[in-house]
Amino acid sequence: AVTQAEGPAVAVPPPPQIDPVKAAADAEAEALKLAQLEFLKKMNVVRRWCVKISTHEDFEFVVFVLIFANIVTLAMYNPLKSDSSRYNFVLDRIQLGFNAFFTLELILRAVASGGPKAYLSNAWNIFDLLMVLAGYTEFLPASWFGNNTQSVKALRALRALRPLRTITRFDSLRAIVVCFLEALPLLSSAVLLLLIFIFLFGVAGIQLFQDAAHQTCCNNVDGSYPDPALTENSDEWGCGHRHCPSNYTCTTFSDVVLTDGIGFNNIAAAMVSVIQILTYAAWSYMMYRFTDTYGIYAIIYSVLCIIIGCYFVVNLFIAVLKIKFAKAQTLFHSKLAKMSKKKRKNILGRGLDMGMVRPEDGDEMAPLKQFIFDQRWLVRQLVEDNRFNQAFLGITILNTFFLALSYDGMSNALAETLTISNYIFTGLFTMEMILKLFALGFFEYVADSFNIFDGVVVVLSIVEIILDVLKVSSKGFAGIRVLRAFRVLRLFKVFKYIKSLRKITEVLLASAASFLAIASLILLFMIVFAIIGLHVYGGTQQSDEYPNFSTFLLSVTTMFQVLTLENYDNVQFQLADDTNFGALIFILAWVVFGYYVLLVLFMAIILEAFESKYDKGTIQDAYLA
């Protein structure tokens, strides 16, 4: 028997002691974890509903309609009434309701995106958030701004930026904005050069003409300005280099005495004056006015500013903006094309030719159909013949000549002759339309946009003749004048018959979507600036003097006037006199952004369209020839 040696006893560890406090904490943590999981499950359901609602096409339509309604209510503001009036108070409450809905929309989209962090990762969503927050600025106490009415109005006018939310709703508008933003880094050098030029000439203007805007001739007796009979404007008489008239003395005033400018008192005023010269706004007036004080130096300064600034620096900026934007637009569209190429099938070359084809000999056809077809074939050969087109080109030019013969006070014989000629020309163009409809058929006829244009002009001409025969114009119907004015549209038929003009028109029509997008963007920003002007500067000028911001229509008209640079300097200086220096910034901001950015982008789109379509078509035509 084998006896096993007894080894040392192995100690068995006692069972672990359960800490009741720790166990309770663990149980609470587990319960919290389960509650969080349950909450996340519920949030997923909520998120699914938010995604379903925020992406539904009906919801998008409602948002768009409310944005448009918001624009309308902003435009209905009456600056001639106090903000506490019942009319403006109701509009303000409606604005608050719109902002509440847009806040709800923002929350829905944020939840659908997965939370604030995911939502704000998109720059367009940040833009929407800022527009919504701008709607709550009216709740900021006026005491924060020192009870300054203009400051409060300017801050609350940020609500006018809400119409810009429409940019996020249309891909065509977003494409233009994205292309412009992508081109901005490439424009930095041109912008820097322009700013340096404005600053340098501003500093030079301060050194040369700092007190020129304060000197004028005054009457020795009563201190008045020269007699307006001596000059168109009483303060045209600068002095220093130029001698004052008899009984007048050259006097220096503390205020600026200029009809159209603010002088070179400081760097801000000097830069505004340089920009005024660069935009050709009354630059000759400033040159001659300062010549009265400092002689030929003012002429040299102004001429150099025009030559270097306008003809070189500004045009360089415009050229760079056009080129860089066109390049960015081309790259953007090429990216879109590559993205969509994977999702679309190439169907080029698979279309059916729906044109009229001459049947081969031996093909059987009913006698009546054969007769009609033969007649259509003959008429088609006629209307497609080059001599037919040349004949109607001559008729169109002759019609234009007869339209130009009309004048106020013409004899009855000439009026009768022009009336009869109108009947004849209308009959000829009607015959042309009928022949083409018969030869081509309705659907092939309307497939050509030129034919649609011809048809509309012919119908309007026939309606005008009917109303004229019925003597409707003698019954006070002013619309007959409008219909008569449409006769001039016949001249555009020339575009149809001259190949080069037709090609230009086809390029413009092919790029109509891009033109419409940039035109909509210009109109949108014009409305935004008009609403800001209405809310901030409305009622600060006489409502019976133009231009002013008393109504939305007048605000839009004023902004359009400024966009064309027509007398914009008078608008800004008069507005600054009635309010404050901020009016200069407001008007100049629209001049720079509207004229030198948006209109340049419009030109860039035209150039890109002709480079990509017109030149390509011309090369193909030359190759085929």
The pLDDT tens digits of the residues spanning 583-596 come to: 888 998 999 888 88
If asked whether residues 483 and 523 sit together in one domain, one would say no
- Asked if 568 and 483 sit in the same domain, the reply is no
Instruction: State the CATH number of the domain containing residue 116.
Output: 1.20.120.350
The answer to whether the CB of 602 falls within 8 A of the CB of 556 is no
SS3 state at 436:
helix
The last residue of one of the domains, among 137, 169, 201, is 169
Are 140 and 497 within 8 A, CB to CB? no
> How is 319-356 classified by DSSP, letter by letter?
HHHHHHHHHHHHHHHHHHHHHHHTTS---TT-----S-
Name which residue leads in pLDDT, 37 or 62. Answer: 62
Residue 311 lies in a domain: yes
Strands (E), 226-269: 248-252
pLDDT digits (tens, 9 = 90+) for 335-389: 666 654 444 333 223 333 334 444 554 455 667 777 787 788 888 888 888 888 7
- Model confidence at 175, in pLDDT bands (50, 70, 90)? confident
Residue-wise DSSP of 65-129 = HHHHHHHHHHHT--TTS-TTSHHHHHHHHHHHHHHHHHHHHHHHHHHHHTSHHHHTTSHHHHHHH
Residue 481: the pLDDT is: 62
Q: pLDDT grade, residue 230 (50/70/90)?
A: very low
- Burial call 505-516: b when 16+ CB within 10 Å, e when fewer: bbbbeebeebee
Are residues 198 and 332 in contact, defined by beta-carbon separation less than 8 angstroms?
A: no
Pair (145, 210) in one structural domain: no
Residue 136: how many CB atoms within 10 A of its CB? 14
Taking the CA atoms of the chain, what radius of gyration do you get in angstroms? 36
Q: Where are the alpha helices (DSSP H) in 448-551?
A: 449-469, 479-485, 494-497, 499-510, 512-537
The more confidently predicted of residues 336 and 181 is 181
486, with CB counted inside 10 A (0-12, 13-18, 19+), is middle
Whether 162 and 282 share a structural domain: no
Does residue 83 fall inside a structural domain?
yes
Last residue of a domain, one of 497, 524, 544: 497
Task: Report yes or no: 389 and 497 within 8 Å, Cβ to Cβ.
Answer: yes
Asked if 431 and 557 sit in the same domain, the reply is no
Q: Are residues 482 and 528 in the same domain?
A: no
Task: Say whether both 570 and 448 belong to one domain.
Answer: no
471 close to 446: Cβ distance less than 8 angstroms: no
101 and 66 Cβ atoms separated by less than 8 Å: yes
Last residue of a domain, one of 443, 475, 497: 497
Question: Which pLDDT score is estimated for 234?
Answer: 45
444 versus 231: the higher-pLDDT residue is 444
Residue 432 backbone zone (phi > 0: left; psi -120 to 50: alpha; other: beta): alpha
- Domain presence at residue 74: yes
Closest alpha carbon to 264 in 244, 289, 241: 289
Do 373 and 439 sit in the same domain of this protein? yes
Shared domain for 542 and 482, answered yes or no, is: no
pLDDT attached to residue 74? 85
Mean pLDDT of the chain: 75
Q: What local confidence, expressed as pLDDT, does residue 31 receive?
A: 67
Task: Report residue 99 CA to chain centroid gap.
Answer: 24
* Sign of the four-CA dihedral 71, 76, 78, 82: negative
Q: Do residues 558 and 530 make contact, with C-beta atoms less than 8 angstroms apart?
A: yes
The range of the structural domain enclosing residue 595 comes to 510-624
In a domain? residue 20: no
Query: Using CA atoms, how far apart are residues 291 and 269, in angstroms rounded to an integer?
Result: 19
The token pair at 274 is 């340089």
SS3 256: coil
Distance CA 41, CA 46 (A): 9
Helix (H) / strand (E) containing 361:
none
Whether 570 and 295 have beta carbons less than 8 Å apart is answered as: no
Question: What pLDDT does 344 receive?
Answer: 35
Taking only the tens place, the pLDDT of each residue in 82-119 is 878 888 888 888 888 888 898 898 888 888 887 888 88
Count of structural domains within the chain:
4
pLDDT in tens, 278-320: 888 878 888 888 888 888 888 899 899 999 888 888 888 778 7
Write out pLDDT tens, residues 135-159.
777 676 656 655 666 666 666 677 7
pTM: 0.63
Task: Classify burial at 288, counting beta carbons within 10 Å of its beta carbon; exposed 0-12, middle 13-18, buried 19 or more.
Answer: middle
- Using an 8 Å Cβ cutoff, are 192 and 184 in contact? no
Identify the three-state secondary structure at position 357: coil
Q: How confident is the model at residue 132 (pLDDT cuts 50, 70, 90)?
A: confident
* φ, ψ of residue 224 in degrees (nearest 5): -80, 165
Q: Is residue 139 part of a domain?
A: yes
462: Cα separation from own chain's centroid: 37
| pLDDT tens, position by position, 516-569 | 888 888 888 899 899 888 888 887 765 556 777 888 888 888 999 899 888 888
| pLDDT value, residue 353 | 36
Does 327 map to a domain? no
